[in-house]
Structure 1
Amino acid sequence: METMDAILTRRSIRKYSPDPVNRDVIENVLKAGMNAPSAGDEQPWHFVIIDQHDLLEKISELHPYAKMLKGTPTAVLVCGDQHAPKYKDFWIQDCSAASQNMLLAAHDLGLGAVWIGVYPVEKMIQELRDLLNIPAHITDSVPKSSDECKTQNH
């Protein structure tokens, strides 16, 4: 898919096939996120792959705009590291760029995807942090090659 075609035809998709997503496809989406620009090339993102139905259902109950997670086989939570030393507080823009890259990659790979924001709603941040055991210095910003892929599976 050409870049402009991907940008102009990408849409937020909220209904999904229950079929599992191939791990190689997920890795390609993550690679796209990891190749996003970041301030000073700090790459302050962490990606949590969520493919356990019970967790996806719990998240859909916690987040008022995440009801569609009940029907998806996989979600990726993009988180930012607040301890990024060089460019403090740029993690928000960096994670946003990574999220957009992943949305475009998912579209190119024939997957439906939607961006569901969490940050800066403190209550949702804390609920997801508790549910997924995310450390306090990592912030959930949105419900990727480098062999140093910073990912966690749930």
Structure 2
Amino acid sequence: MQEIFNRRSIRRYENKTVTDEQIEQLLRAAMYAPSAGNEQPWHFVVIKDRETLNRIMKIHPYTQMLREASLAIIPCADTSKVKYNGVFWPQDMAASIQNILLQANGIGLGTCWCGVYPREELMAPLSEIIDLPKGVNPFAVVAVGYPAEKGMAGDRFKREKVHYEKW
């Protein structure tokens, strides 16, 4: 539970390299997320190239932390074979990202989840930057690195937001 309680969005990073082994740990965690009908629509594009990170920052105003982050992971959804009329794949993608965030926190890394989907004005240029095939949609940009700040942990549990049986 401490990984859940202590996880915070990190927007400042140290100049340290995230290893390939750490990246694989994050991606393994992502792929163990629950998925409706075991669809597993996810693919992940790992971006370390500084020029590409800079291009992403130019099209997505809320990704400025990529200036210091070691890398970005871009979770993408292959919607060409989704089940259930394509209703649940966004939930699958969100679950995979949450697993990345929690795993990163558990191994001493910081992350920041920057939404992309369903904003076409972000999806189209990002798809072009990372050369996505038709039917594959970028869902988010996740900055990853060693935290140079400590997010403030506070009690988020609000009893007044819990309802039993009825509202």
- Computed over aligned residues only, the root mean square deviation of the Cα atoms, in angstroms, reads 0.9
Mapped to 2, the partners of 1:49 and 1:117 lie a distance apart of 16
Please state how far the C-alpha of 1:72 moved relative to its aligned partner.
1.2
Structure 2 gap ranges (5+) = 142-167
Residues 87-136 of structure 1 show CA distances to partners (whole Å, capped at 9, x for unaligned) of 32321000000000000000001001010000111011000011110112
- Distance in 2, Cα, partners of 1:85 & 1:108: 31
Structure that is richer in strand per residue? 2
Letter in 2 for 1:20: T
Q: Indicate the larger mover: 126-135 or 87-96.
A: 87-96
Tell me how far apart the structure 1 counterparts of residues 49 and 118 of structure 2 sit (CA, whole Å). 25
Q: 2:104 aligns with which of 90, 103, 106?
A: 106
2:18 equivalent to 1:12 = no
Q: Is the 8 A contact 1:129 1:136 kept in 2?
A: no
In the alignment, structure 1 residue 57 sits paired with structure 2 residue 54: yes
TM-score by length of 2: 0.81
What's the TM-score once normalised by structure 1's chain length? 0.88
For structure 1, which runs of at least 5 residues remain unmatched after alignment? 144-154
CA contact (8 A) 1:12 1:115 kept: yes
Larger radius of gyration: 2
Q: Distance in 2 between matches of 1:71 and 1:82?
A: 32
Q: How many residues align?
A: 140
Q: 1:77 aligns to what?
A: 74
Question: How far apart, CA to CA, are the structure 2 residues paired with 1:104 and 1:90?
Answer: 22
Amino acid across the alignment from 1:117: G
Shift of 1:82: 1.0
Percent identity for Structure 1 against Structure 2: 43
Of 26-35 and 64-73, more deviation after overlay is shown by: 64-73
**Matching residue's letter, 1:19:** K
